[in-house]
Amino acid sequence: MASQNALTPQADDFPRWYQDVVAKAEMADNGPVRGTMVIRPYGYAIWERIQSEIDTRIKAAGAQNAYFPLFIPESYLSKEAEHVEGFSPELAVVTFAGGEQLAEPIVVRPTSETVIGEFMAKWIQSYRDLPLLLNQWANVVRWELRPRLFLRSSEFLWQEGHTAHASYDDAAAFALRIHLEVYDAFLNDVLAVPTYLGIKPPSERFAGAINSMTCEGIMRDGKALQMATSHELGQNFAKAFDIYFQNEDGQAVLCHTTSWGASTRLVGGLIMAHGDDNGLIVPPRLAPVQVVVIAVRDEPDVNDACARLVASLKAAGVRVVLDAGRGSFGRRVTDWEIKGVPLRVEVGPRDLAQGVVSVVRRDNAEKTTLSLDAVASQVPGLLETMQTAMFDDARSRRDAATRDVASVEEAIEAAQTGFARLDWDLVAGSGEAQLNAQAISVRCLQRRDGSMPSSDLEAGLTCLVAKSY
């Protein structure tokens, strides 16, 4: 009889495997309104770790956290034509509240460029007020027709940064800094997901932006996932909301603005980039629980040894929990494997008699025997070894799933299993439409050396195309 914790194999049905992991790792449930989700404590603990790591980097870049309203007057969105057009199909609009019809419909926040632009215009008077660097941790609503927990939901959590600058160069430089020092650094160093950095083609840009930078990761099924984006908004929103500043010569000048964000989609990316047929695998630097100490048997000597191990690991700065034994040992091991806890320390009476314990890595199932006295000193190094190995493995998978091709037809074939890279000149225009007809999109544009261009008008660009989430 199959275990009730058995997961659908990835090779059989990847979407079903994903749903199984989300449910059985106790990450989230569907909410009562279609497209919404309830994030369970373990899933939220992972999101809190993501928040903490990204927030620290955002603050190091100089931005400050603030909060803006969930409800936005519909007229605000109408001020920037491309913006309202881009978001119109996804908007949730309130027309009745307080027992009466509203004089003006209210949009439930899909993103906050418009409401923040309104207040930037109020707060910015002089060049001395610039740059204004803001970030918001919030929920947003974008009505989703094909919802999937964490990846696409009608309401999701995210951070959205919004900044105003005196010049285009300053704005562009800050957006790039966020992209590299916040998003790329987090994805590489913490989430252990290597991505391709590039800019979006005009057809895929954020509504109202003049340039959109993206981090594109690859999942274990060969599909791409947009992990984070940074946008140069030029003066489009400044014109719409009259965001002027007085320069040193006393002249009124329009600001240049940016926006940038990452969301709970990162949790979905974590699951799909690292998970295997046994469940989730969480990189140690991200894991809310880095080590679980499991008592093989519920016996006084074993439990005492486990408690001492937990105390010594906590003193060493390790995030550790104790599983003192409810249910069979095998079932408890399976539960922790599904949750993807990086290291499992197993303490049994036979090992205890010899003064040793077994330490098992979640990423490769490698088992190591350590003396009881060495656990606290050895585990931090094992965690770092696993972190590096997970990134290297993910990079190898990404590189192996990327093919250089010479035509749109070859790109369509290669994109069935991963990324295809080809000259942008072959795709721009009719080639992009040909790809879209096969559910393939241009994920980003790069220079031939893999670096990120400043504009899609640069000569000699390549593009990465793939099926995507």
Alpha-carbon distance values, 333 to 87, 126, 276 (Å): 45, 61, 16
From CA 444, how far away is CA 214, in angstroms rounded?
A: 7
Does residue 4 carry a pLDDT above 70?
no
State residue 2's pLDDT score. 38
From CA 340, how far away is CA 291, in angstroms rounded?
A: 10
Q: How confident is the model at residue 85 (pLDDT cuts 50, 70, 90)?
A: confident
345 in Cβ contact with 359 (< 8 Å):
yes
- Residues constituting the chain: 469
State residue 139's pLDDT score. 97
Place of tokens 């057809």: 203
Q: How confident is the model at residue 113 (pLDDT cuts 50, 70, 90)?
A: very high
77 in Cβ contact with 118 (< 8 Å):
no
Percent of the chain with pLDDT over 70: 99
Angle at 11 between CA 5 and CA 13, to 5 degrees: 70
**Lowest-pLDDT range of 187-201, 232-246, 314-328:** 314-328
From CA 385, how far away is CA 379, in angstroms rounded?
A: 10
Looking from the CA of 46 toward its CB, the CA atoms found within 13 Å total 30
pLDDT tens column, 167-187: 999 999 999 999 999 999 999
Q: Quick one: angle between helices 265-274 and 14-24, nearest 10?
A: 110
pLDDT tens column, 225-257: 999 999 999 999 999 999 999 999 999 999 999
What is the C-alpha R_g of the chain?
A: 25
For residue 184, the 8-state DSSP code is I
Looking from the CA of 419 toward its CB, the CA atoms found within 13 Å total 25
332 in Cβ contact with 341 (< 8 Å):
no
The pTM score is 0.95
At residue 415, the 3 state secondary structure works out as coil
Which among 260, 319, 270 is positioned nearest to 50, based on CA atoms? 270
Q: How confident is the model at residue 55 (pLDDT cuts 50, 70, 90)?
A: very high
- The CATH number of domain 14-274, selected from 3.40.1390.20, 3.40.640.10, 3.30.360.10, 3.30.930.10: 3.30.930.10
Q: How confident is the model at residue 5 (pLDDT cuts 50, 70, 90)?
A: low
Alpha-carbon distance values, 459 to 75, 211, 235, 424, 453 (Å): 40, 16, 25, 9, 10
Q: Write down the mean pLDDT value for the chain.
A: 95
CATH number of the domain at 291-382, please? 3.40.50.800
pLDDT tens column, 409-456: 999 999 999 999 999 999 998 999 999 999 999 999 999 999 999 999
Does residue 3 carry a pLDDT above 60?
no
Does residue 326 carry a pLDDT above 90?
no
In single-letter form, the type of residue at position 417 comes to T
Sequence-distant (≥ 6) Cβ neighbours of residue 329 within 8 angstroms:
294, 296, 297
Q: How confident is the model at residue 83 (pLDDT cuts 50, 70, 90)?
A: confident
Does residue 469 carry a pLDDT above 70?
yes
Across the chain, how many H-helices and E-strands are there?
Answer: 15, 23
State residue 145's pLDDT score. 85
State residue 1's pLDDT score. 32
State residue 88's pLDDT score. 82
Q: Work out the end-to-end distance of the chain between its first and last CA atoms, rounded to an integer number of angstroms.
A: 34
